[in-house]
Structure 1
Amino acid sequence: MKFDTVLMVDWSGGNDRGPTPKKDSIFAGVARNGIAQEPVYLRNRQVAEGWITEFLRTEQAAGRKVLAGFDFAFGYPMGFGEVLTGSDDPFAVWDWFEAKIEDSPKSNNRFDVAGEINALFPGVGPFWGNALKRDVKRLPRKGSTREGHGLPEKRAAEEAAKGAFPVWQLSGAGAVGSQTIMGLPVLSRLRKTCGASVWPFEPLTADVALVEVWPSLIGKVVAATQPDDRVRDAHQVYTLARAVSAMPPDELETLLDVPATPEGSILGLGHEKLLMKAAVAPVQAPPLRNDCFALPPGVTWTPVPKALAHLRDNLSPVTGSETVPLHDGAGRILSQDVTALRAHPPAPNSAVDGYGFAGPAEAGEHVMTLLEGRSAAGHPYDGTVPAGHALRVLTGAVLPQGVDTVVLQEDVNVTDKCIAFRGPIRLGANARKAGEDMAADQVILRAGRLLTPADLATAAAAGVGELPVRTRLRVGILSTGDELLAPGSKATEGQIFDANRPMLCAIAAAWGYKVVDLGRAPDDRGQLRGILDRASASCDVIISSGGASAGDEDHMSSLLKNAGSLAMWRVAMKPGRPLAMGLWGKTPVLGLPGNPVAAMICALIFARPALQVLAGGTWSEPEGYMGRATFRKSKKAGRREYLRARISNGRVAIFPSEGSGRVSGLSWATGLVELDDSAREIRPGDSVRFVPFGSFGL
């Protein structure tokens, strides 16, 4: 079963909550195809009913099918309807409440109605929780005073849902009874106004389906992903709407496939794993602003540091998030902070093989009674070591009660009954304290971190089995130009082999991104437009080479200009001056120079940190170090230069030719010499900055 729109409503039984969003208020969350909108705050039930009715009517007019979930009970335990209306028809109960409930933003009669209902039953109850200052006839203030009313305490759904409260409680922590009494009249009107079908009471044949939900079924995901600036109730409907809208139709059908019962049911009950899986599925990040690449007016030549700062300040992640098993985490970027599930070490343990006792041991000879047994890794000693006694302990073993110090076995003489050794031995010697590495609930890995194998060990030691990560950035690589041929083809005069695409594809793959090879585009604006249209649907970012300047055949920059998002950067650097930046639809495009040397250096300097941010990581600068030059170089002021270089006999050598057409120099080099914007005369022995390719992630 497929729904175009999912609406989730967090309801309230209380009075008007004022103009500012706050907890225990009404919030509505809307999502389509796994993309959720910012939750809507509805200050009271009157505002909420008007907003929901208008929303559903608008969706119906647009031809969209809506699943609308509400977080209160759609029915009562068996036997309630028969006494209240003479029928077990749940809609008769809805109509009864619609006729009886009087509601305004500041007051309502729910407690009086509950007392009236209680009068229909023998004994005391079933409703309880009078929160008014005045007494309400037949409505007790405490649930413990009820007796003999003859109804079950919970519906079957509440019995199956761990932690769910009964519908009889009208006030106090966890009370859902007031939400139900005040919500059923609204559902009754929505059903009639919109012609809605109600699950699970009837087949969902209408274009609006009303269903009962309980966000606590995905409470762990809600708690783990709640932003600091969003109220918990708002985040619940945001997350649940996104999850349900992202579910494949067959999985949603599984959730809906429950027997019809007058009590009603909770969507997802019994299928929490499916719902949780959808709740942690990839989510879409917001698109970049259309002016993210635009330089300030009047800027012509841009120094490299300013160009980099502009990217750093204006780019943001374009990837979603997902949860992966720990062993699949290497090379992924964390989407959230990771906290230790338990301390490491979880308990005090021994750092050596030896004998444990209560320390310290002063200078001189010590003889201690040796207890039977031992403590080994995975097999702790079950008992307490008395003062003056010792126990055999092995490396990694939990230290039992009465032990805080360990003496090395090499320093001990042992008999069956005792050990002897010489002090001094300080308190805590050769022992590790619980949590001395990581404490429980401590943040051990920060969001934005590119996970290493060592990080996996850290997370595993803290008990973490799954990692919240960014979905892999999909990087499209495109070469442009009629002159390009695939390597290995037969070339004619005027044609060259495409060196950029295999180079840039390999670089993007080495950085851990999912590479989408977009092939070669001819110098035809219409064909290039079609390639970009298709690429924007399958890529998160596009990197092209060639056509990035302002010539007649520079179609990439022309298309971006016509799309209204071109930023033509003339960067004060050598090699690589022209860079075209823009958005094709919502997909960022980085246009690199066509020369392979310039394309690679611009990719390292600009594309690498930009892609890291787009992928959800942190901005990073390459690390270099100073070395003694073996070369001579006269450099003018006004631009930054990058020379292909390598370390030779402990000194920095550069490729014999600075010509950007010498592709082989990229293979010869192991890094770059970076010369800043100032004028400089470099002689052998002068200090220069060398940045190894390893600092660029290669």
Structure 2
Amino acid sequence: MTFDTVIVVDWASGKASGPTPKKDAIWIGVASSTSVEPPLYLRSRVEAEAWLIARLIAERAKGHRVLASFDFPFAYPTGFARALSGSDDPFGVWEWLAVRIKDDENGENNRFDVAAEVNEFFGGTGPFWGNPLKRDIAGLRRNKSEYSLHGLPEKRQCEQDEKGLFTCWQLAGAGAVGAQVLMGLPVLHRLRERFGKELAVWPFEAADAPIVLAEIWPSLLGPVVKEAEKSGEIRDAAQVRLLSKALASMPAIELAGMMDLTSPIEGAILGAGHSDELQRAAVHLAPPKLSNDCFTLPMGVDWTPVDEALGMLRARLKPVVPTITVSVQSAVNKILAKDVIAQRSNPPLPNTAVDGYGFASKSLSGEGPFELPLVKGRAAAGLRFDGRVPNGFVIRILTGAALPDGVDTVILQEDVRSDGLRIAFNGPVKAGSNTRRAGEDVGAGETVLRAGRRMTPADAALLSAVGVSQVSIYAPLRVGVLSTGDELVETGQPAQDGQIYDANRPMLLAQLRDWGFEAVDLGRAPDDRATLGAMLDGGAAQCDAIITSGGASAGDEDHMSALLEETGSLALWRIALKPGRPLALGMWNTVPVFGLPGNPVAALVCTLVFARPALNILSGAGWSEPQCFLLPAAFEKRKRAGRREFLRARVRDGHVEVFKSEGSGRISSLSWAEGLVELPDGAALIEHGTPVRYLPFGLF
């Protein structure tokens, strides 16, 4: 469920407002996944309707899909439509009102008279109530006295669980929404007539048209809007800006989940029950997607050296996940999106590192022994001494206590004799002994953690100590894993001759989780291009990147490469690498796809060497290179020039040994190994004791 543009309208029912922007007027917010327009203030409904028509025409001319949402109910409680128009169809009510409601450029309208006309269907005592005009209107009560619903519900079902929603029967008074409905539905009716089959109304119609209308409730963003108001922004403007931003940057799979309803005749509020997700989306924007040619090789390139391939990935990729603000505790194992600045020094004040006695170093002269009188009271952590310690006196002080005024030195209690009135100790004593300076660890205003760092539990302790309670992080990168090939079956299922159990998908899913990514199992695709394409569609709708194994070469059954080629984004990188030469890279519905070889050893090596640093960049963590160790070889090998080689290896007794076979189908070698030996592109002769580069799996 993707929309190129999201429009959020905060409607109004009264007269035209003045030239100066104000609250309780018409405000419109517009956003895409990459930008948010300044909130638009419109003075009348006539002006707003003209703007909407023009904007929708312009968006369709660009081929854009549009979600246009409005902050009033699209339908009345059950029973009203049938009583008014003879049918449960809510669009019958829209048309009935559009025929009768009159409105002009000054906002003069007849909404209360039309409400009274509706009440006549029910005997003139409801369901509408609330007349704020100076003139009486027959059939419309000024308040709820002698008022009846005539069997109609007070609220719709979708409004029952949301606090703060007013009944649509109330036409006047603080928070009343009934008049907005009367003045809004005729506009929606005209939009529906104007755009015909290009427009659908959710949830009454399938939300697959180029233009979709939906009902929203801006108060779902309550806490976020309140923060914006603190900076002086008009509440209505903040609501449409933030809600359009939230809906535009909402992951497609989440928005589709919100819209997965079965045509309730009372309508539905988009986002109801999902306020937390909307609030998170409101505080960030999704970054721009990668370009469709980000993997394109330079002209004339055939075999790509490993370092050149890595260099191209590093230069062309960028973060593709949005940023969110979370508590420090929730940020552990997540990637920081912004540098973190200390709000307070640690320690905030000079303090003592030990239990003992504090005094001014100038109280002492010579090398002792010394005898100093005690002042009354003591200093303890969290209980600062109220007063000053005179020169020549000492105070009892406990570990962590802020140094009282007049104290710059502490002597250990083990080095002291005391009778409760004085202490005696030997010298010499160094000034400043056993104390910590304010900000000795971290000073207020210092950068304590850099963007791109994956937060650790120790980082949570550090940030808490310096007064940081919330941080900006990148949302977890969601990486889909898809296996391809008719020969694959799930472990535990019967396998026919010629079939093999799928080992790559469990391995890659586990590896991604170990790296802290959100691994999404996309299943197994047969050797059928249409099915594979549909599975890629599903994966792209819920993932930020996709890793596939198999079908990454150029053979008849290499459907992954063929599909990426059809998108115009295929880059078939033939890497000068053993194992794992073919690497199909491309874009599917703006989502990067890493097509790995089908051999398990080659699949893991390519994941470690290429996918790991690429995914790190996409996740916001920046480029990563595995830490390596130069260790003596416990094997012999003569390597020819032409390509880089990675051997499955492990360390025993300080020497690196390699697996007995280099076959890329030997899955047991991956379980045996604890890392890789990297041999250079050129020729090499490895003998026992030759230093080799060893890369532990855990340090990729």
* 1:25-44 Cα shifts (integer Å, max 9, x gaps): xx996226xx46254699xx
416-425 or 305-314, larger mean C-alpha shift:
416-425
Mapping for residues 49-60 of structure 1, pairs under 5 Å = 55-59=51-55
What is the deviation of 1:521?
A: 0.9
SS at match of 1:424: coil
Answering whether residue 179 of structure 2 is matched by residue 203 of structure 1, we say yes
| Structure-2 residue corresponding to 1:364 | 367
Which residue does the alignment assign to 1:678? 682
| Structure 2 CA distance for aligned equivalents of residues 397 and 587 of structure 1 | 55
How far residue 466 of structure 1 moved from its aligned partner, in angstroms, is: 2.6
Deviation at 1:364, TM superposition (A): 1.2
Q: 2:164 is matched with which residue?
A: none
Contact 2:676 2:697 in 1 (8 A): yes
User: Which residue does 1:345 correspond to in 2?
Assistant: 347
- Structure 1 residue 692, shift from structure 2 partner: 0.9
- The equivalent residue for 1:31 is 31
Equivalent position of 1:288 in the other structure: 290
Alignment of 1:156-305 (within 5 A): 203-205=179-181, 206=184, 241-243=244-246, 277=279, 281=283, 283-305=285-307
The worse-fitting range, judged by mean Cα deviation, of 392-401 and 499-508 is 392-401
Alpha-carbon separation, structure 1, partners of 2:656 and 2:679:
13
Letter in 2 for 1:616: G
Distance (Å, rounded) in 1 between the aligned partners of 2:413 and 2:19: 69
**Pairing 1:398-547 to 2, within 5 Å after superposition:** 398-547=402-551
- Looking at structure 1, the residues matched to 218 and 653 of structure 2 have their Cα atoms a distance apart, in angstroms, of 74
Q: 2:610 aligns with which of 606, 612, 634?
A: 606
Which among 301, 307, 311 is matched to residue 309 of structure 1? 311
Once residues 239 and 212 of structure 1 are traced to their aligned partners in structure 2, the CA distance between those partners, rounded to angstroms, is: 9
Deviations 1:617-661 (A, max 9, x none): 111100101011111111111211101111111111111111112
Deviation at 1:592, TM superposition (A): 0.5
- 1:326 is displaced (CA, Å) by 2.3
CA distance in 2, matches of 1:630, 1:212: 67
Native 8 Å contact 2:218 2:239 kept in 1: no
Residues 71-113 of structure 1: CA deviation (Å, up to 9, x unaligned): xxxxxxxxxxxxxxxxxxxx99x899xxxxxxxxxxxxxxxxx
Cα distance in 2 for partners of 1:666, 1:211 equals 54
Number of equivalences: 524
Q: Whole-Å Cα distance in 1 between the matches of residues 240 and 28 of structure 2? A: 6
2-structure distance, mates of 1:465, 1:31: 30
Matches within 5 A, 1:608-687: 608-687=612-691
Equivalent residues of 1:362, 1:423 under 8 A apart? no
Whether contact under 8 Å (2:361, 2:431) holds in the other structure is: yes
Native 8 Å contact 1:338 1:446 kept in 2: yes
Provide the residue aligned with 2:381 in structure 1.
Answer: 377
1:225-248 C-alpha deviation (Å, 9 max, x unpaired): xxxxxxxxx999965752587899
Distance 2:677 2:591 in 1: 33
1:525–1:555 Cα contact (<8 Å) kept: yes
List aligned pairs for 1:52-71, cutoff 5 A.
55-59=51-55, 65=68
Q: Which amino acid aligns with 1:30?
A: V
Amino acid corresponding to residue 304 of structure 2 in structure 1: T
**1:219–1:276 distance in 2 versus 1, CA, 3 Å:** farther
Q: State how far apart, in whole Å, the 2-side matches of 1:459 and 1:512 are.
A: 21
Q: 1:575 to 1:4 in 2, by over 3 A?
A: closer
Separation (CA, whole Å) in 1 of partners of 2:482 and 2:528? 14
Amino acid corresponding to residue 312 of structure 2 in structure 1: H
CA contact (8 A) 2:218 2:243 kept: no
Spell out, residue by residue over 1:311-357, the C-alpha distance to the aligned partner (whole angstroms, 9 max, x if none).
11111111112223322222111122222222211111111111111
Q: Secondary structure at the match of 1:451?
A: coil
Quote the Cα distance in structure 1 between the aligned partners of 2:511 and 2:229: 37
- Against the structure 1 CA distance between its residues 280 and 293, is the aligned structure 2 distance closer, same or farther, given a 3 Å change threshold? same
CA–CA distance in structure 1, aligned partners of residues 230 and 323 of structure 2: 16
CA drift at 1:212: 12
Contact kept in structure 2, 1:474 and 1:514, CA below 8 Å:
yes
CA deviations 1:579-620 (Å, max 9, x no partner) are 000111111110001000010011001111111111111111
Within 1, Cα distance between the matches of 2:6 and 2:175?
17
CA deviation after TM superposition for structure 1 residue 375, in Å: 1.4
Q: Which amino acid in the other structure matches residue 179 of structure 2?
A: P
Q: How does 1:132-143 map to 2 (within 5 A)?
A: none
Residue range with higher mean Cα deviation, 417-426 or 389-398: 417-426
Moved more, 651-660 or 556-565: 651-660
Q: Give the secondary structure class of the aligned counterpart of 1:425.
A: coil
Give, in angstroms, the shift of residue 299 of structure 1.
0.9
Counterpart amino acid of residue 569 in structure 1 = W
1:391 aligns with 2:387: no
**Which SS does the other structure have where 2:336 is aligned?**
coil
Please name the residue that 2:154 is paired with: none
2:224–2:279 contact (8 Å) kept in structure 1: no
Q: What is the rounded CA distance, in whole Å, between the counterparts of 2:343 and 2:247 in structure 1?
A: 28
Whole-angstrom distance in 1 between the partners of 2:341 and 2:361: 33
Residues 423-468 of structure 1 show CA distances to partners (whole Å, capped at 9, x for unaligned) of: 3333322111112212223221222211112111111212222332
C-alpha change, 1:640 and 1:455, in structure 2 (3 Å) is same
CA contact (8 A) 2:228 2:238 kept: no
The answer to whether the 8 A contact 1:246-1:278 is kept is no
1:512-534 per-residue CA deviation (whole Å, 9 max, x = no partner) reads 11111111111111111111111
Letter in 1 for 2:589: G
How far off its partner does 1:219 sit? 8.3
Is residue 342–residue 467 contact of structure 2 (8 Å, CA) maintained in 1? yes
Change (3 A) 1:624 1:642: same
| CA displacement at 1:401 relative to structure 2 | 1.5
> Which amino acid letter does the alignment assign opposite residue 324 of structure 2?
E
- Specify whether residues 55 and 313 from structure 1 end up closer, same or farther in structure 2 by C-alpha distance, changes over 3 A only: farther
Shift of the alpha carbon at 1:55? 4.6
For residues 229 and 451 of structure 2, what CA distance do their matches in structure 1 show? 17
Alignment partners' CA distance in 2, 1:455 and 1:51: 53
* Secondary structure of the corresponding residue to residue 645 of structure 1: strand
Distance 1:532 1:643 in 2: 32
SS in 1 for 2:321: coil
Amino acid at match of 1:561: E
- Kindly provide the amino acid, as one letter, of the partner of residue 351 in structure 1: A
Secondary structure, counterpart of 2:293 in structure 1: coil
Secondary structure of the residue that 1:203 maps to in structure 2?
helix
Cα deviation 1:644-685 (Å, max 9, x = unaligned): 111111111111111112111111111111111111111111
2:31 and 2:37 in contact (8 A); partners too: no
How far, CA to CA, are the matches of 1:489 and 1:236 in structure 2?
Answer: 53
The amino acid of 1:588's aligned partner reads P
Counterpart secondary structure, 1:460: helix
What's 1:259 paired with?
none
In 1: Cα distance, 2:573 partner to 2:230 partner? 44
Return the TM-score normalized by structure 1.
0.67
User: Is the 1:580–1:591 contact (alpha carbons within 8 Å) kept by the matching residues of 2?
Assistant: yes
Counterparts in 2 of 1:274 and 1:644: CA distance versus 1, 3 Å: closer
Q: Which amino acid aligns with 1:37?
A: S
| Range 412-421 or range 671-680, more displaced | 412-421
